[in-house]
Structure 1
Amino acid sequence: MKVDILASGSSGNCIALTTNETTILIDAGIAKTKIEKRLLEVGITPSSVKAIFVTHAHSDHIKGLPLANKYKIPVYAGEREWKNITCVEDELIRQIGVGGLFGCDDFLVTDFKVHHDAIDPRGYVVRTLDNFKASICLDTGKVDKEMLQHMKGSDIYIIEANHEPRMVEVSTYPNSVKARILSHIGHLSNEQTAVALSELVQGKSERIYLTHLSSNNNLPMLAEMTVKRELLKKGYHSGMHYELEVI
């Protein structure tokens, strides 16, 4: 499975997954024209995108959904999350219930609930027909046992490592924003992400992508070292037992 992180962070999120001739997008949170440009830069024709799966309806995840209208791409989102998505033509709307299974050419996609301040936010598990597995867990304030159960055994983990709590606490953000970020329906800290990955990684050469880093309240090296330190407790070394990339 080929992974292309077209955008990541509070300014926009968009992930392309490709196997054989099939590409799907997880979120479309940058302008339609930027998605088209970045797809072409990684060798993907926009018209070849078979589906878009939305994690939730915050603008940094759905800004570019008019792409679906242009290329007639089906868009999947939690059934209640559609209340806040108004830019997709009716015939392209696909409402999903928790735990649904969706066939998309060379992919099978299932969803799971996450914890974020949206109406009906989801994470996704994407499998190829030969059972290669990728898990995508973006905005969430915590990782619970049910989420771990869905994600375990993956070959690829795409997960947010949003912030370092101490940096949030001393930031210039209003207290209400700080409270939101640090809450159980906010975003994952580096430590939360590291602990979750220590429960998931089995040292079988998994690929890990740390995404959605805050530009104000995190540092790529800090996120990387926090995860590496936690996995080292299990005897796992980067480059030997797993591969890690910070986006």
Structure 2
Amino acid sequence: MGTVVSIELADELPESELSGLVEMTCSWLHEVDARFSTYKPDSEVCRFRDGALALEDCSADLRLVLDRCADLWRDTDGYFDAYAGGKLDPSGYVKGWSIEVASQRLAEAGSRRHYLNAGGDIRMRGTGPTGGPWRVGVRHPWEAGKLSWVLALTDGAVATSGTYERGAHVVDPRTGKPATGLRSVTVVGPDLAVADAYATTALAMGEAGLSWLAGRVAGGYESAAVTDDGRAFTSAGLPVA
């Protein structure tokens, strides 16, 4: 998926069981990359995008992702758009979804305390290695060695979308141009796939995304954002350490 994934297990289990859990998680993520990579011409998503694979012949996972992207397109008034770049690219949903599924599979396999990080999209369960909450640092959008916030969670997801590493890579689907106005958006909530999509949506909206994010609090999604001119905003329930 074009990023590095780290896996931390805090469960008090035999080494062999922990190794098996890591191998299971890596196997799933490699499967996702093979199916959804937009850089591999033979991936399932590329074959569907290019018309070589009919929808009815797609895997259940691809059909689910396409359905979720369509739901998000409607729920965000078109600002979350898997076709924003002109061709199908569901990566803005797939990364968070794949880590959310990985966490669910770990829990079902016996891991109650883990932390998965895919390029800043994080899903954690239970308590951390010290017995307290997992702590997540949100990078300062201009100074790489500093943090804007430190969050503390035992169960939940943290997704950050910003322009400070990849530039203005999120497209405003209304204009077809790179979105401006927000430098960094972090969303915290119960589901990483949704949190990731919401962070991308707000970034695409620009400063209008601040009020849009405020409306997501009722659904359990708190947020923090920094504008292009350096102003910082947080929702009241953001779990700041």
In which range does the TM-score fall when normalised by the shorter chain?
Answer: 0.3 to 0.5
Query: Comparing both structures, which one devotes a greater share of its residues to strand?
Result: 1
Larger radius of gyration: 2
TM-score, normalised with respect to structure 2: 0.33
TM-score, normalised with respect to structure 1: 0.32
